[in-house]
């Protein structure tokens, strides 16, 4: 069973190699004020970490803008349009694909982008986070023309997408079936330690993909919040660890380059 000590040992190995793992934090499904959002913002402030909040523009309520306040430490990303499922029978849930035509999907994304820019101004970044982390290949070549600079899904990134900077999430703290609940400390520490070891051993220095922590404030149970507090506090003890927000990851990288 993987423990905090195993994670410490892996981070020590990074330090001995003279390398620094980069982390980033993405939280999905924001649309309105809620108890979960309040806990998320409290955790962000207490940990003083940059948070990339994926907002569903077609569902945004006035309460969200008020709840976010001055948005210190926050970056706002576009989480599709209305987080609606358009999958064909037998297909996994998807909004950016499925039964709708490419033209319909692009029109919805453009409408969502306009909503986000109107509500949040310059704080709305041209970064797309597909609902359920799924987007059909037929949509991707059109994103840059809509003004998107970045794309974020889940898992190790594939080859670079056309005109986009790709930075994914990797550690989802929830188990989604049969209902959303905390995945478990041991399982998450195993995933994280393994991912870091793989980066250290297989990736060339400087090419490592940032390690993305994925959360969903609306679905967290008390165990989820406790784990996040422990994880952030634990990583803070290691000087070798660095954190980045969405602006340096997506918007300060030349389009088309690898992040």
CATH number at residue 192: 3.20.20.370
Residue reference for tokens 């991912």: 195
Is 233 a domain residue? yes
Structural domain containing residue 191 = 27-251
pLDDT tens series, the chain, 259 aa: 789 999 999 999 999 999 999 999 999 999 999 999 999 999 999 999 999 999 999 999 999 999 999 999 999 999 999 999 999 999 999 999 999 999 999 999 999 999 999 999 989 999 999 999 999 999 999 999 999 999 999 998 766 567 899 999 999 999 999 999 999 999 999 999 999 999 999 887 777 789 999 999 999 999 999 999 999 999 999 999 999 999 999 987 544 333 3
Whether residue 11 is contained in a domain is answered as no
Task: Tell me which residue has tokens 């939280």.
Answer: 27
Q: For 147-248, list the strands marked E by DSSP.
A: 150-151, 165-166, 171-172, 174-175, 181-182, 211-215, 242-243
Per-state percent for the chain, helix, strand, coil, to nearest 5: 40, 15, 40
Domain count, the chain: 1
| 7 domain residue, yes or no | no
Whether 22 maps to a domain, the answer reads no
Is residue 99 situated within a structural domain?
A: yes
Q: Is the residue at 194 inside a domain?
A: yes
128 domain-assigned: yes
Q: What is the distance of C-alpha 24 from the center of its chain? A: 8
Q: How far apart are CA 249 and CA 255, in angstroms?
A: 11
pTM of the model: 0.94
Whether residue 159 lies inside any domain: the answer is yes
């Amino acid at each position: 069973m993987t423990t905090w000590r195993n994670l410490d040992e892996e981070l020590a190995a990074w330090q001995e190699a003279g390398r620094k793992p980069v982390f980033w934090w993405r939280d999905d499904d924001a649309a309105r004020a809620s108890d979960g959002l309040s806990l998320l913002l409290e955790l962000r402030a207490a940990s003083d970490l940059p948070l990339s909040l994926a907002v569903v523009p077609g569902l945004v309520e006035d309460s969200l803008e008020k709840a976010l306040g001055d948005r210190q430490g926050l970056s706002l990303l576009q989480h599709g349009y209305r987080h609606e499922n358009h999958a064909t029978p037998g297909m996994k849930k998807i909004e950016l694909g499925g039964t709708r035509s490419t033209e319909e999907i692009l029109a919805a994304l453009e409408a969502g982008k306009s909503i986000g820019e109107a509500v949040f101004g310059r704080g709305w970044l041209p970064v797309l986070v597909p609902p359920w982390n799924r987007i059909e290949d037929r949509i991707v070549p059109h994103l840059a023309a809509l003004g998107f600079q970045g794309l974020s899904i889940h898992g190790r990134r594939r080859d670079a997408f056309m005109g986009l900077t790709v930075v994914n999430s990797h550690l989802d703290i929830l188990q989604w079936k049969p209902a959303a609940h905390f995945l478990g400390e041991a399982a998450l520490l195993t995933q994280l330690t393994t991912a870091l070891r793989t980066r250290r051993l297989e990736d060339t220095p400087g090419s490592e993909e940032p390690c993305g922590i994925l959360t969903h404030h609306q679905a967290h149970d008390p165990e989820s919040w406790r784990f996040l507090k422990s994880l952030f506090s634990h990583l803070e003890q290691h000087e070798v660890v660095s954190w980045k927000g969405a602006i340096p990851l997506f918007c300060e990288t030349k389009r088309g380059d690898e992040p």
